Structures are given as structure tokens and as C-alpha cells.
Amino acid sequence: MKLKELNDFDLIRNFIVSDNELWNRVSEDGNNKEDFIISENPFFWWIGCYSKSDVLVGIFWMHQTSSNICLQVHAHVKKEHREQHAYECGENTLIYFVEKMPKKYVKLIAEIPEIYQDVIHFTLKFGMKKEGVNRLSYKKDDKIIDQCRFGITREEAKLWLQQQ
């Protein structure tokens, strides 16, 4: 598995919107593919996860939140690659956070809609801890649901990686 920072916004957009299963998982009610525009932003990082055969199997997106010490992460791994590559993508993304992201970012967070229990279990595998609930903050299939917040500090991530 190799990670590569992506700057080809058409590649990123097409990776997400061309796969209906992936698009359905990452989009909230009211979002449509035509309005999903990705553009350059100095506080956004798109990381491609490539298999040994150089196939793009997933994209992890990190962006600065309202404070300039936290990054929020979003995982986009295509279904046909999840079983074989998702864990390795996630672990390498944690390594990327620790080793390559600016040191001012001391924490990585994720907000996951409660309906995606598989993603919640995936997140917990990497040492992230549940920190709370963003109540009634996400709309999917005409239901307003909670999102669970998870987080890990840079130091906790380093310790978790040492134990692997």
C-alpha cells in the first residue's frame, strides 16, 4: 500500500461520484453529484491509497476544522476493496497524520452517522475514542439522525502505532 497526496480534483470527484454505493454512503440528503465540486483549498488534504498493483482503492480526506489544531478525517474506500485494503489504508493514513501533517495539528477527529456501525467499528480499530454525540445533525433517507464524534491525539496515535 502506498499513499500519495492528490491534487487532481477531477480524479477525486470522479472516484467518489462514479460509484453509487460510495456516493450514497458519503452524501447527505439534499446533496447531488452535480453540485459536488472539489477545488484547491490550503486547509484540505486528499490522500490516495494505492494497492501494490497501483490501483486507487480509497481516498482519505483531511481538513482543518474551526480550530487550527484539529483535522477531521473522512474515509472513502470502494466496497470491492474494503475487505482487502481498508485496514491498511486506515493505518497508513494514521501514519501520514503523525509523520507528514503539520505539527500544529495535534488531533484527528471523525464524525460518523450512527447508521454506519461498520465505519464506527473501523474507526475504533485505530485507537480513536468516542468523545460524544452531535445530536440530530445529519439527514439520511428522510430521517434526522445523530453523528458520533471520535478523536485521537497525535501522541495517542504515535503510541497506538508503536503497539502495532
pLDDT tens-digit series, residues 143-155:
999 999 999 999 9
* pLDDT confidence of residue 33: 96
Q: What is the DSSP letter of 138?
A: E
Mean pLDDT of the chain: 96
> pLDDT by residue (tens digit) across 93-109?
999 999 999 999 999 99
CA distance 78 to 83: 10
Interior angle at CA 106, CA 100 and CA 109, nearest 5: 95
CA distance 49 to 77: 9
Q: Are strands 70-77 and 129-140 parallel, antiparallel or unpaired?
A: unpaired
* pLDDT confidence of residue 67: 79
Q: What is the Rg, in whole angstroms, of the alpha carbon atoms belonging to the chain? A: 15
Q: Into how many domains does the chain fold? A: 1
- Residue 5 scores a pLDDT above 90: yes
CATH of the domain at 82: 3.40.630.30
Q: Are 153 and 161 in contact (CB under 8 A)?
A: no
User: Can you tell me the mean pLDDT for 134-147?
Assistant: 97
Could you tell me the three cell numbers for 82?
474494503
Q: At what angle do helices 79-100 and 117-124 cross, to 10 degrees?
A: 40
Residue 152 CB-density burial (10 A; 0-12 exposed, 13-18 middle, 19+ buried): buried
> pLDDT by residue (tens digit) across 53-107?
999 999 999 999 977 899 999 999 999 999 999 999 999 999 999 999 999 999 9
* pLDDT confidence of residue 66: 79
Alpha helices in the chain (DSSP H): 9-17, 20-26, 79-100, 117-124, 154-162
> pLDDT by residue (tens digit) across 18-48?
999 999 999 999 999 999 999 999 999 999 9
Which domain does 94 fall in, by range?
2-162
